[in-house]
Amino acid sequence: MAESEKEAALPPKEEFSDWYNELLWMAEIMDVRYPVKGLYVWYPFGFAIRRSTYSIIRELLDNSGHQETLFPLLIPENEFMKEAEHIKGFEDEVYWVTHGGKDPLDVPLALRPTSETAIYPMYKIWVRSHADFPLKLYQVVNTFRYETKHTRPLIRLREITSFKEAHTVHATWEDAEAQVKEAVELYTEIYRRLAVPILRSRRPDWDKFPGADYTDAIDAMMPDGKTLQVGTCHHLGDNFAKTFDITYEDTDGEQRYAHQTCYGISERCIAATLSIHGDDKGLVLPPEIAPVQVVIIPIIFKKGAEEVLAACKDVQARLRKAGVRVEIDASDLRPGAKYYRWEMKGVPLRLEIGPRDLENNVAVAVRRDSGEKEQIPLPEIEAGVLSRFEAIHESLYEKAKAGLESRIFACSDLEEVKEKIQKGVATIPWCGKRDCGLAMEDKIGAGILGIPLEQEGNSKEKCPICGEETGTRVYVARTY
Amino acid sequence: MAESEKEAALPPKEEFSDWYNELLWMAEIMDVRYPVKGLYVWYPFGFAIRRSTYSIIRELLDNSGHQETLFPLLIPENEFMKEAEHIKGFEDEVYWVTHGGKDPLDVPLALRPTSETAIYPMYKIWVRSHADFPLKLYQVVNTFRYETKHTRPLIRLREITSFKEAHTVHATWEDAEAQVKEAVELYTEIYRRLAVPILRSRRPDWDKFPGADYTDAIDAMMPDGKTLQVGTCHHLGDNFAKTFDITYEDTDGEQRYAHQTCYGISERCIAATLSIHGDDKGLVLPPEIAPVQVVIIPIIFKKGAEEVLAACKDVQARLRKAGVRVEIDASDLRPGAKYYRWEMKGVPLRLEIGPRDLENNVAVAVRRDSGEKEQIPLPEIEAGVLSRFEAIHESLYEKAKAGLESRIFACSDLEEVKEKIQKGVATIPWCGKRDCGLAMEDKIGAGILGIPLEQEGNSKEKCPICGEETGTRVYVARTY
């Protein structure tokens, strides 16, 4: 699609916002020209990344006892309005269907902003006994938010196209708590597979999911030092169970309210992956999610062209057999133009094969992440490629992890916090009292991201507002 | 989920409508108790069938040069209203979003009933040159119809949850015609993989897709003799290209209107598969889409119980390694109750292993489709199971094909047509004139399904209305 238009240079990654927008366009991830604000179109190349990313998510969910299901998009107003706190959190953002054909509907229908109120009336019917637990279902769906803020592809959307939401039911509060922990570990593992290091923290009470007892969240750090919330895990207590009358018969024959959790992840996982690994030349993709994992560039001279092409096709066939997604670029472009094109698309490994390489029985492998050039003997091409995929993945993760850690700043006062959050995440002691937290946020001009799930030590530090001693440091960050 | 409730017997398949509704419930395909008419919930078991079915669809599309993409659900009113004929076909069925939060929207947004008007404004931007052709994209999405007719799960829905729609662009009318042919073959192949025989015909002009030059359709025959439209392929000519201004530069440098096709398939493919193969005991699933392909039933006596269980686990592990989805039912139920449960779920093959079988080093395999019992030597269990999967698939297809063919009745007058369509599909000569076609439909009290894409011969028969000689017979059927 109009490749020729896309030969302009990408802005440097330092200018993150411009870089991001141009990258999504030049690498053919999303097209922003759909005629409604906040709704975007997935290019096939972007969608191929979406497919492999969500395969990972499904695999990890399936392997941990979750089952996929699908509930309707449309939620009748009366169900949607049942849970008072929940609705307060969403009512300004809900799209309403009011007409079918030319007729007004008897009951307006909400486009789900999230599916608690679609799913829990069914859970009321389905859940009968303690023997039904744990019930662990998930779906991957489109959800809708009438965003009034600035929208941005993959990050802030009116149609979230790829919302994976899990909804679990348990007997006790403690069982649900354990499930939230499992979910946090699961999400950590998902991001590990995307080579994305993350922060794990409990949101302050005023920032939790509407209707939840608490919210544990996963954040990634974007290149500009702002954090992007890329996963949330909510302990719902028995709040929704009481509203939707979800009860079970316990071992002693008593009817009790169930306890629930829900946790979600959206295409923000792709935004984080692309943003963290990409560079001035374009995408840098972890091999597992790259639509094209290897591109073979035949280096053609007049003499020996046929042999080179035949060798390239042989390598392609062998790699395909080994499960590698591999293309040959035999187009008429200069090698430089080919490199530009495939670097922009983030292809993890480029193999160059020319007459001299054939003489030496090797291919020259060039890593997208590091630019490193190495020879791989052709008889060992499969193992050589697969082992480099692992090395690339690990190297992407380690580099991103070092980058994240170098931008977490332990601060001792609020002035320092204000300065450091321009570059990354600050930590600061907090006594845990709501008033102190809100006062800090007010003074800093940015929010408390959360209380890290892993606290480093037991230092007796002081809350910068009330001076009370505390062993807790919290993350403070500018956020998307 | 409340298994115990589901021990009532299924109505006989002869009472198709009752059988269908009960089957979807008892086999845990869909739950119809969602509190909005025409919207249903996929049970995890049903969704697992959906997953494997749509894997087949994706595989065949990907392998024939299609690319998956994703466009927004919401279509602004002005785009939606552009194509006059198209809109006439849909305007009574469209759901409208009119409010975001508490505010009325500036432009009402339609929930896509189909995506021409969402996709083609982008095609206008994307398509530039003959070199861009063929452009072959598809998406799998939820679409919406404000149905006023009787709704029915998987068949007539207000939210079609699983609409696979492809949209292609070509230079010439002939290229688009060839694409429609490819699509018909592709759909035939998809149904072959589901062991579902189909009818292929061109819809009469008054029944084509709104805005198309013509519509070729795929129909399955349901157990009650009514046909279910399970796929349509539309030649759009340059009608939409003119409306949405989709032009390309031809080899001679001239700007020309593009030619387009679109073709769709929905979860009706699952309705047909379940309905055609199922029997009085429940689902009968082709192995490729069965969530559980093999269930192992340990036949336990006091003596030798451990050895039997160990052997079952060994067989399970070996089959899993061979890529088979296999479960052991080691529950406390009587064998009869276990058989009932897994037969209801359509598991293609049951393996029974008891002490005597171990002595003989065999498992007893029972086919769900035929009830046939055979011994498989344990050392060859993988090959034995996989070859039976093939046999089951072929046998399901052949049986369904014979059933379909036996219910196509060549009729010589309209009275006979009226009688035969109570049992299946009638064929009758038709001169091709619109007036005669409509008059026939009126006299029969049922519609012309279509003109078969493959005509049997060149017999000089007579149109029952005008008496003109014709070599064409058409299908007449009661339809869903």
Give residue-wise pLDDT tens across range B267-279: 999 999 999 999 9
Average pLDDT in the A159-163 region? 98
User: Nearest CA to B454 among B433, B427, B419?
Assistant: B427
Torsion of CA B232, B233, B238, B241, to 10 degrees: 70
Element (H, E) at A48: helix A44-63
Which pLDDT belongs to residue A455?
Answer: 81
Parse chain B into domains and list their residue ranges.
Answer: 3-277, 292-387, 408-477
Distance from CA of B95 to the nearest CA of A (A): 4
Report how far residue A45's alpha carbon sits from residue B104's, in angstroms, rounded to the nearest whole number: 36
Which pLDDT belongs to residue B90?
Answer: 87
Q: Do A2 and B126 touch (CB under 8 A)?
A: yes
Cis before A210? omega within 30: no
Report how far residue A293's alpha carbon sits from residue A365's, in angstroms, rounded to the nearest whole number: 12
**What kind of fold does domain B292-387 have according to CATH?**
Rossmann fold (3.40.50)
Q: Do A122 and B34 touch (CB under 8 A)?
A: yes
- Indicate the pairing of strand A473-477 with strand A425-429: antiparallel
CA angle B472, B478, B480 (to 5 degrees): 120
Sequence-distant (6+) residues with CB within 8 A of B435 are B465
| pLDDT tops 80 at residue A2 | no
Tokens of B100: 């975001």
Give residue-wise pLDDT tens across range B316-351: 999 999 999 999 999 999 999 999 999 999 999 999
Average pLDDT in the A405-433 region? 97
Within 10 angstroms of residue A207's Cβ, the number of other Cβ atoms is 17
> A74, A202 in Cβ contact below 8 A?
no
Average pLDDT in the A314-323 region? 98
Which pLDDT belongs to residue B83?
Answer: 81
Q: Do A92 and B69 touch (CB under 8 A)?
A: no
Tell me the residue type at B380. Answer: E
Cα–Cα distances (Å) from A279 to A2, A273, A282, A346, A391, in that order, read: 23, 12, 5, 9, 18
Q: Do B69 and A79 touch (CB under 8 A)?
A: no
Give chain B's mean pLDDT. Answer: 95
Chain A residues whose beta carbon lies within 8 Å of the beta carbon of residue B34: 71-72, 118, 121-122
Which pLDDT belongs to residue A302?
Answer: 85
Tell which wins on pLDDT, A108 or A302.
A108
Chain B residues whose beta carbon lies within 8 Å of the beta carbon of residue A93: 100-101
> B38, B95 in Cβ contact below 8 A?
no
Which pLDDT belongs to residue B2?
Answer: 44
Tokens of A10: 């990408």
Which pLDDT belongs to residue B457?
Answer: 65
Q: Do B41 and A70 touch (CB under 8 A)?
A: yes
Question: What DSSP string runs through B94-140?
Answer: -EEEEEETTEEEEEEEEEPSSSHHHHHHHHHHH--BGGGPSEEEEEE
Q: Does A1 touch chain B (CB under 8 A)?
A: yes
pLDDT confidence tier of residue A80, bands split at 50, 70 and 90: very high
Give residue-wise pLDDT tens across range A288-311: 999 999 999 999 988 889 999 999
Tokens of B261: 């096709």
Which pLDDT belongs to residue B303?
Answer: 86
Chain B residues whose beta carbon lies within 8 Å of the beta carbon of residue A74: 36, 39, 95, 158-159
> The CATH number of A3-277 is which of 3.30.70.1150, 3.40.50.300, 3.30.1330.60, 3.30.930.10?
3.30.930.10
Give residue-wise pLDDT tens across range B117-131: 999 999 999 999 999
Average pLDDT in the A371-388 region? 98
CA angle A321, A327, A331 (to 5 degrees): 145
Tokens of B238: 């340059």
Q: Do B67 and A74 touch (CB under 8 A)?
A: no
pLDDT confidence tier of residue A3, bands split at 50, 70 and 90: very low
Among B69-73, B292-296, B431-435, B457-461, the minimum mean pLDDT is found in: B457-461
B2 backbone dihedrals φ, ψ, rounded to 5°: 50, 45
Which pLDDT belongs to residue A83?
Answer: 82
Torsion of CA A117, A119, A123, A124, to 10 degrees: 30
Handedness of CA A195, A196, A197, A201 (dihedral sign): negative
Per the listing, tokens 């073979």 go with A296
pLDDT confidence tier of residue A329, bands split at 50, 70 and 90: very high
pLDDT confidence tier of residue A24, bands split at 50, 70 and 90: very high
**CB neighbour burial string for B186-212, b if at least 16 within 10 angstroms, e if fewer:** bbbebbebbbbbbbbbbbbeebbbbbb
| pLDDT tops 50 at residue B3 | no
Give residue-wise pLDDT tens across range B129-170: 999 999 999 999 999 999 989 999 999 999 999 999 999 999
Q: Do A41 and B142 touch (CB under 8 A)?
A: no
Average pLDDT in the A35-48 region? 97
Give residue-wise pLDDT tens across range A443-470: 999 999 999 999 866 678 999 999 999 9
Cα–Cα distances (Å) from A79 to A292, B41, B98, B147, B469, in that order, read: 45, 16, 20, 22, 62
Within 10 angstroms of residue B247's Cβ, the number of other Cβ atoms is 17
Which pLDDT belongs to residue B302?
Answer: 85
- Indicate the pairing of strand B461-462 with strand B408-410: unpaired
Chain B residues whose beta carbon lies within 8 Å of the beta carbon of residue A121: 34-35
Question: What DSSP string runs through B7-52?
Answer: GSPPPPTTSHHHHHHHHHHHTTSEE--SSSTT--EE-HHHHHHHHH
Termini Cα distance of chain B: 31
Report how far residue A227's alpha carbon sits from residue A446's, in angstroms, rounded to the nearest whole number: 12
pLDDT confidence tier of residue B4, bands split at 50, 70 and 90: very low
User: Nearest CA to A285 among A48, A17, A10, A34?
Assistant: A48
**What kind of fold does domain B408-477 have according to CATH?**
Translation Initiation Factor IF3 (3.30.110)
Average pLDDT in the B220-241 region? 98
A interface test, pick of B45, B69, B144 with most A CB neighbours within 10 Å: B69
CA angle B440, B445, B451 (to 5 degrees): 50
Which pLDDT belongs to residue B7?
Answer: 56
CATH tag, A292-388: 3.40.50.800
pLDDT confidence tier of residue B174, bands split at 50, 70 and 90: very high
What ipTM was reported for this prediction? 0.96
- By Cβ distance, the residue of B34, B50, B70 closest to A47 is B70
> A416, A426 in Cβ contact below 8 A?
yes
Share of chain A above pLDDT 70, in %: 98
Share of chain B above pLDDT 70, in %: 98
Termini Cα distance of chain A: 31
pLDDT confidence tier of residue B86, bands split at 50, 70 and 90: confident
Q: Does A128 touch chain B (CB under 8 A)?
A: yes
Tokens of B178: 């060839």
Q: SS3 for A324?
A: coil
**Among B residues 98-117, those touching chain A with beta carbons less than 8 Å apart:** 98-102, 107, 109, 111
pLDDT confidence tier of residue B459, bands split at 50, 70 and 90: confident
